[in-house]
A and B are shown apart, each in its own frame.
Chain A
Amino acid sequence: MPETFTEIESAKTGALTPAAYEHPWPVRFCHWLNAISLFVMVGSGLQIFRAFPSFGAKIPQKDLVNWPKSLALGGWLGGALQWHLTFMWIYIGTGFFYLAYEIVTRNYRQVLLLPRDLRGVWPMARHYFFFGPKPPLTEAYNPLQKLAYTSAIVLGGLSVLTGFAIWKPVQFAWLAWLMGGFHLARVWHFAVMWAILFFLFGHLVMVVLHGWNNFVSMLTGWKKDPDYAPH
């Protein structure tokens, strides 16, 4: 597996703490870049949605929800579109760079859910949600994590594809067609956003639950005292 391990020796006590290098800097770089662009894309996207908060006809118009302006970015439709059409390039660029890095360095072995991981998903879910026993951990990401991260990557790709289907429904008519037409593509784009927010919610809960060392690993790459360290 991609992680490297070391032991940190305390100068005062001589105590040894294991540490694992989990995230190479391009991964961390993409993570934070993406955190920012995702924030902008969701915020401006919701402001764009406010211009026509419905998925039905224009006449008669039935609003789905009057999304509060305070939870949106851009101030007005034109401003939100500027944010959206600017940061989408950063969002897409980050995604491509990340995927290329994962493939070239074979770092995807740490993240990607493979068929052999499937067996471990349920025991992990049972542990988290139904107080089941904690399955033994052998690598940086457990099978449930791999499922979550792999889904997030797929959702990221879908957010771009559905976005292009509604931004360019003529040039990418085949994309809109795949999604059931322009009108439905807009629904999908919205749904994918909520799926990403659902992932993000779970992600943040886990970050809080797993504490400081885990959080620091996405800043420095190093995780002190990882729960899967070889003993």
Chain B
Amino acid sequence: MEPRITDRKFSKVSRRELLKLSPVVVLGAFAIPKLQDKLLATGLRFSDWASAAMFRRGHLAPTFADARLTPFDRFPINDYDVDDPGIDLDKWTLTVGGAVQKPGAYTLAKVQALPRFRQNTRHVCVEGWDVIGRFGGARLSDFLKLIGADLTARFVTVQCADDYYESLDMPTALHPQTLLCYEMYDQPLTAGHGAPLRLNIPTKIGYKQAKWLTDLKVTHVLDREGYWEDQGYSSFYGL
């Protein structure tokens, strides 16, 4: 800049400098109702893509000493509809289908015959609260091998007795801490916590850890993502 300029030239320079900021206006697209939903859906998809990229297959969620457990009666019972969908535990089976070699109905005994793992892990709710619980069950990865699942498939989906449904990416399904959970605090699951079988996934947010499982499917494509996901929540939500 010259040591001295006319006020007309200064105005011109100022205008040009101001125009350099004009790309900021692009963000105004978020204020346009028609575009807003699409832009936010794109942002969420990008976030999910980044989440999946950050997920490390062998990386374990922190585990805690028994002394740090949230007392069982203070472990919240969260559901979207009913506290007890009224499953007949004697007749219950898990219906397995999709890209598996051995589809069919699996009894709880079949799941319990697999090696049992117990873990004290943190359960994080999307609302913001968290508790540390003790969970026990079979590794989902062991069960997927039992049913001869195509492990190159992209998703495992579950259907629940209360109409809830969820989907899980295969890397998370194969994670060593992802359990088909039939125990909490060393006791069989109670009705409120998803008896007889629920998911326990310490690397995922709470709403992905469906309760009262009735169906499990291995699939390459999703026709729907999950009860909350289909209303706009993050699909991957890995912790």
Residues of A within 8 A of B (CB): 4-11, 16, 19, 21, 25, 28-29, 32-33, 36, 40, 48-49, 51-52, 54, 57-59, 61, 77-79, 81-83, 85-90, 167-171, 173, 177, 182-183, 186, 216, 219-222
Q: Which residues of B contact A83 (CB under 8 A)?
A: 40
Q: Which residues of B contact A25 (CB under 8 A)?
A: 17, 20-21
Q: Which residues of A contact B191 (CB under 8 A)?
A: none
Residues of B within 8 A of A (CB): 1-8, 10, 13-15, 17-18, 20-21, 23-24, 27, 30, 39-44, 46-47, 50-51, 54-56, 59, 61-62, 70, 73-76, 122, 124-131, 202-203, 228, 231-234, 238-239
Give, as a whole number of angstroms, the nearest-CB distance from B192 to chain A: 12
Bound complex: CA A5 to CA B126 (Å): 53
Give, as a whole number of angstroms, the nearest-CB distance from B226 to chain A: 12
Give, as a whole number of angstroms, the nearest-CB distance from B203 to chain A: 5
Q: Which residues of B contact A33 (CB under 8 A)?
A: 24, 27
Q: Which residues of A contact B126 (CB under 8 A)?
A: 51, 77, 81
Q: Contact: A9 with B7, CB < 8 Å?
A: yes
Known: A32-B21, A170-B61. 17 other contacts (CB 8 A): A6-B1, A6-B5, A7-B4, A8-B4, A8-B7, A21-B1, A28-B17, A59-B75, A77-B127, A82-B41, A83-B40, A89-B46, A171-B55, A182-B122, A183-B130, A220-B14, A222-B10
Q: Contact: A59 with B74, CB < 8 Å?
A: yes
A78/B228 contact (C-beta < 8 A), A170-B203, A222-B13 known:
yes
Q: Contact: A86 with B20, CB < 8 Å?
A: no
Contact of B234 among A40, A81, A186 (CB under 8 A): A81
